[in-house]
Amino acid sequence: MARWEFKLPDIGEGVTEGEIVSWLIKAGDVVKEDQAMVEVMTDKATVTITSPKAGTVVETRGTPGTVVAVHSVLVVFELDAGASAGAPSASSSSDDKHTNGNGHANGSAAHVNGGAAKSEPAATAVGDIKEHLPGMGGASTSRASGSGGGASANAGGGLANAYFNEKPLATPATRKLARDMNVDLRIVPPTGPQGRVTKVDVETFAKAPKQAPAPTAQAPSAPTASTPASAPAHAPVKISAPTAAQTALEERVPFAGMRRKIATKMAQSKHTAAHFTFVEECDVSALKELRARLRPAAEKQGVKLTFLPFMVKAVVAALKKHPILNSALDESTNELVYRKYYNIGIAASTDAGLMVPVVKDADRRSVLEVAREIERVATDAKNGKSKMEDLSGSTFTITSLGAEGGLFATPIINFPEVGILGIHQIKQKPVVKDGQIVIGEVMLLSLSFDHRIVDGHVGAAFAYDIIRYLEDPDRLFLEMA
C-alpha cells in the first residue's frame, strides 16, 4: 500500500481558493474512481470534486467553512499496490497548470491545453453555476424539522414558497437529473444524510402538484399581543396576504444571490456611514472638445475613448490633494487607513445586478490605458466573466447613469470607502463666461461622503478640485503624475 496526497485542483479561471461546503467521504471510506468526495464553493460556482483514483481515505483536511488554497492537500489516500502513487495528480505539480492564450489558468482541471496530455487520471469538478457570484450572499430558509422535511414542505404543492437553500448539497448524478427534469435544486427539500438532496427528492418534487398556496387571513390592522406596536427596526417585513384572485397574479422568486448581496452591502453602508451629499454643476465644454480631438487617435489603437477615463484621472488627481478621501476606517482597530494606491471602482449595471469592477493603479496608467482597462473590466462584468481580483480592492468609486443621468442623485457609498462620485448626463444649458451668456455643456456631479470621516468643507473642496480639472483638462494633463 502506498500513500498519495490529493490536492485541490484548478477549478476555475482566476480561482485561487475555495471554501469547503461539505464532505461526502470520511476517513476509512473506500473510494472509487470518479466518486464525489467534497463540495467546494469558489467565487464563481459551487463544484463537486471527484476522485481521480480508487483507494482508501486515510485523512480529510479541513472542515466545512474552511478556505483552502488551490494546490493544497485535501485528502490523503492509501492506494492499492498496483496503483501509481508517484505520479502527481492534476493539481500537484506546477507543470500541470496549463494556461490558455491569454495567460490565465485553464478553468477546468479535467482538460489540458497547450501541452501533451498525461495518462494520469485528473480530478474533475462538476460545477453548479449560478446566476450570481457564489459566496457573495444568499439566503436560505430553515429546513423543515426532522429528516422527513421534504414531506411537510410538499404539503399543498407550495414547494417554491416553503423551502429555499442557496447552497444545496447533491451528487453530480442528482444534479444532472435535476437539470434534465428542469428542477431547481435550491427549492427541493432534502431527505438525504447531512441535508443532501437525493434523486428521489428530485423526482418527488418534479411530480408534486404545483398548486398555489391557500391564502391566509388578512393581518389585523391594530396591534395585538403577538404583534407589538413598536416592532424593532430590523424585524423582517411580511407582505400581507393577498386575495385568492390576486394570488394567481403574483410570482415569488428567492431574494438571493447577487441581488441579496447588493442589498446587504447597501444596507451596511447606509446604516454605518453617516452619508451627506454635495451636488454641483460642471461645464465640460473644453473636455468635450478635447475628447473629440483625441477619439480618432484612440480608435486607431483600438480604444473606445469615453468621458470616464478623464473622470478617473481627475478623481485621482483630486484624491492626491485630499488623501482623507482615499482612506478607510478600520473599526476593529479604530484606525484610519490612508491608502497610497489608487484603485478606482466603476459601477456597472449587469443582468445579475450592480457590480463594481476596479481599475487598479489608475494613477500609473495613461488616459488610453485607463480607457482600455475600463472597457475590459466592464465587459467582463456584463458577460459574467469577472475575476475576483477585478471586483475587489477599490479605494474610491465612480457611478454613472449615462444617458439616463437625471438631474442629480444621492449615491450610496461603496463601503468601507468614504466617498463616491455620481456623474450625470451632459446637457446644454446657458452659462456665464467672461460676462456673456453662452451655451455650455453642463454635467451635474453628485458626491456622497461619510460624514464620520469627511467634513463638509473637505468634501466640497474635493468636489471643486474635480470640477476644475474637468473644466480645464489641459491643467489635468499638466499636473498628471
Contacts of residue 211, defined as CB under 8 A and 6 or more positions apart, other chains included, come to 156, 157, 158
Distance (Å, whole) CA 460 – CA 360: 26
Query: What amino acid occupies position 116?
Result: A
Pair 280, 444: CB distance under 8 Å:
yes
271, 322, 451, 457: the active-site residue:
451
Q: What angle do CA 270, 134, 175 make, to 5 degrees?
A: 145
Which three cell numbers, joined as nine digits, stand for 62? 479541513
Distance (Å, whole) CA 377 – CA 386: 7
Contacts of residue 49, defined as CB under 8 A and 6 or more positions apart, other chains included, come to 8, 9, 11, 36, 37, 38, 39, 40, 74, 123, 124, 125
**Residue 153 φ/ψ, nearest 5 degrees:** -70, -25
Which three cell numbers, joined as nine digits, stand for 175? 444534479
Residue 451: active-site member = yes
Distance (Å, whole) CA 478 – CA 313: 12
Which residues are designated catalytic? 451
